[in-house]
Amino acid sequence: MTTALPAPPASTAHDTAKDPSGQAARPRGTRRRGPGATPWLYLLPALTVLGGLLVYPIYQLGLISFLEYTQAQVSGGQPTTFQGLGNYRTLFADPQFWQVLLATVLFAAACVVSTLAVGCALAVLLTRIRALPRLALMLAALGAWATPAVTGSTVWVFLFDPDYGPVNRVLGLGDFSWTYGRYSAFALVLFEVVWCSFPFVMVTVYAGIRAVPAEVLEAAALDGASQWRIWRSVTAPMLRPSLVVVTIQSIIWDFKVFTQIYVMTGGGGIAGQNLVLNVYAYQKAFASSEYSLGSAIGVVVLLILLAVTLVYLRLLRRQGEEW
């Protein structure tokens, strides 16, 4: 006689479910708990350092921009008074501010386009040359990237010096002064900015090209596409995430250029013809002792870069959702 086996118990809403791998999962009907405060505890030391290095100086910058703060207030000869938006009204009513802002935007745009062009071209070149020349080019580029801005600017001024520089002798320009004219001085600074910025673009784009499947490129070549068509229609779209990152970061870096302009043009060029916003703020704050106006310019630069950063973060988030 056979013994009947007991029937399995009926499942309830709180029974433990199993995932496809067979491992026990969370009980049904319960909510998944979030990570809680644990990530913030790990981030607390870094947030503390960033708060001390960034938040407080930004607060002081914004506070001074709303005050009357000149050398008289610094020395204690006059009391500090609240101006509200007076400094910003004075700044926006100054035609020189808008000229400097336009020059900064155009100069930054030229630097970004030139840096991307040189970096992408050299990244493609790295994929076409042998290992030893590739290594030499990488080391030379990283050396330019690691050079301090003051050192690099001083070297470039010497190279283009009208009396002792080798560039004028090679090009047969005689005693032509690159820093005398407005556009030639901006061009000289642009060369130095591109020289110290293209390695980041080159390395990033080269890594992206190496990640492109070789089968896709071979299929495009078999279809009769030229190298330019392969780059434009196949490689560039697949490199879009990397290109977005290097473009936004180049905009941020080139918009706030200070050292190269200050060193190579002697503080902004003849009669301020080569001023950009950061050098303009420095002149207002320290050369003219108008610290409140200099702070107002700093706040404007901060807001512009914050807007660019928000666009950058939004693009990164969108790319993360696509991935």
What's the pLDDT tens digit per position in 141-200? Answer: 999 999 999 999 999 999 999 988 899 899 888 889 999 999 999 999 999 999 999 999
138 within a domain of the structure (yes/no): yes
Model-wide pTM > 0.85? no
CATH number at residue 254: 1.10.3720.10
160 within a domain of the structure (yes/no): yes
Show the tokens assigned to 251: 């905009």
First to last CA, the chain: 63
Q: Give pLDDT, residue 313.
A: 80
213 within a domain of the structure (yes/no): yes
Q: Residue 290: beta bridge partners?
A: 70
Q: Give pLDDT, residue 198.
A: 94
- Lowest-confidence segment of 68-82, 161-175, 182-196, 249-263 by average pLDDT: 68-82
Contacts of 91 (CB under 8 A, 6+ apart): 97, 293, 296, 297, 300
Q: Which helix (H) or strand (E) holds 62?
A: helix 56-65
Contacts of 236 (CB under 8 A, 6+ apart): 243
69 within a domain of the structure (yes/no): no
Q: What angle do CA 102, 108, 110 make, to 5 degrees?
A: 105
175 within a domain of the structure (yes/no): yes
- From residue 128, alpha-carbon distances to 43, 132, 206, 222 in Å are 43, 12, 11, 18
Give the residue numbers spanning the domain of 169: 82-322
239 within a domain of the structure (yes/no): yes
| Beta strands per DSSP E along 63-219 | 67-68, 81-82
In total, the chain counts a number of residues equal to 323
75 within a domain of the structure (yes/no): no
Q: Which amino acid is at 163?
A: D
Q: Which residue has the tokens 């020395």?
A: 75
What's the pLDDT tens digit per position in 41-53? Answer: 888 898 888 888 8
Count structural domains, the chain: 1
Backbone angles phi, psi at 27, to 5 degrees: -60, 145
2 within a domain of the structure (yes/no): no
pLDDT at 22 over 70: no
